[in-house]
Chains A and B, each alone.
Chain A
Amino acid sequence: MSAVLFFIAAIGTITGAIGVVMLRNQFYSVLALVFHLVSLAALFLLLRAEFVAAAQVIVYAGAVMVLYVFVVAYVGGGEEMSSRSGLRVIGPLLAVALAIELCVAMLGTALKGISGKGAPYVPGFGTPEHIGKLFLTKYLFPFEVASLLLLVAAIGAIVLARRRRGLEPDQKLEARYHPLRPAWTGTMAEAGGLTYFDAPVAQPEAEPVEQSESEPVGSES
């Protein structure tokens, strides 16, 4: 029974992970990660880590993924062009090499416990009671540092993402990444993806169309 559950959950986690990497649409990537996290929580339950599984589902699949979905909706996650560098070929090869190496390193160790089912089960292992006791006695200092870290991250995110005056779109950077062209020219994709028609950058003395098309800086893959 536990073997069947393990294989179902393991296949779920791995297909979820592959979906995150392979899917072109960013929305679908986020949904694949949610699937991965729920299957991973099942694996944690099989390892008798009840509190970690519950925290995983509540914190990740509940809170963090909602944040991701909101940011993808705000930024407008469209289809992504494939990478033009050589990493597109070398990256998967490196990953396969890494997987083989990790498997050899972990299964080739002399640890005898790897082939066993683990220590005998003690009633109450992994329950919130035991974890809470550990957090408030032995690991009190990491617990406090983690709360401080969360506070710093929250303040940092607010400072980073708030609307700032004096940080309007930089004209130089703007011209570098989006070559100017007269308003109402260009493809519909550009008109839908970027809204710099009504920004004050579009000046009448924009470059002619031919020149801006002849040197694509960042728009072409």
Chain B
Amino acid sequence: MPIGWYLVVSALIFSIGAAGVLVRRSPLVILLCLELMLNAANLALVAFSRMWGHEDGQVFALIVLVVAACEVTVGLGLIVAIYRRQLPIDVDDLRELQG
């Protein structure tokens, strides 16, 4: 398959993830949609690495994987902390920092 098809799939996944971040209200699902966007970037990186025949893009994709795992860990820790304080788990209600 031409590389362009992979890029189109990556663009579609990225915009679906962006729509999820905008529409959903639960921080858990927003984290899932962030994962979708990072995976779309990974797919584009791996496709370009295939296009050039270098493995550097795959190394970059693995680093993105590590960063995504860190982000999930800290995000889920924050959600558990919010739940422990018995605050609503809802991004529309948690607006303490909005000023």
Binding site for B on A (CB under 8 A): 2-3, 6, 10, 13-14, 17-18, 20-21, 26, 29-30, 33, 36-37, 40, 43-44, 46-49, 51-52, 55-56, 59-60, 63-64, 67-68, 71-72, 74-75, 77, 80-85, 87-88, 90-92, 94-96, 98-99, 102-103, 106-107, 113-120, 122, 125-126, 130-131, 134-135, 138-139, 142, 146, 149-150, 152-154, 156-161, 163, 167, 169-170, 173-174, 177-178, 194, 196, 199, 218
Contact = CB atoms under 8 A, between A and B. Distances in A.
A64 B69 contact: yes
B29 A29 contact: yes
For the complex, would chain A's binding face be called helix, strand, loop or mixed by DSSP majority? helix
Chain B binding surface SS class: helix
Contacts of B1: 2-3, 6, 46, 117
A17 B12 CA distance: 9
Contacts of A77: 26, 28
Contact of B13 (A13, A81, A161, A163): A13
Contacts of B97: none
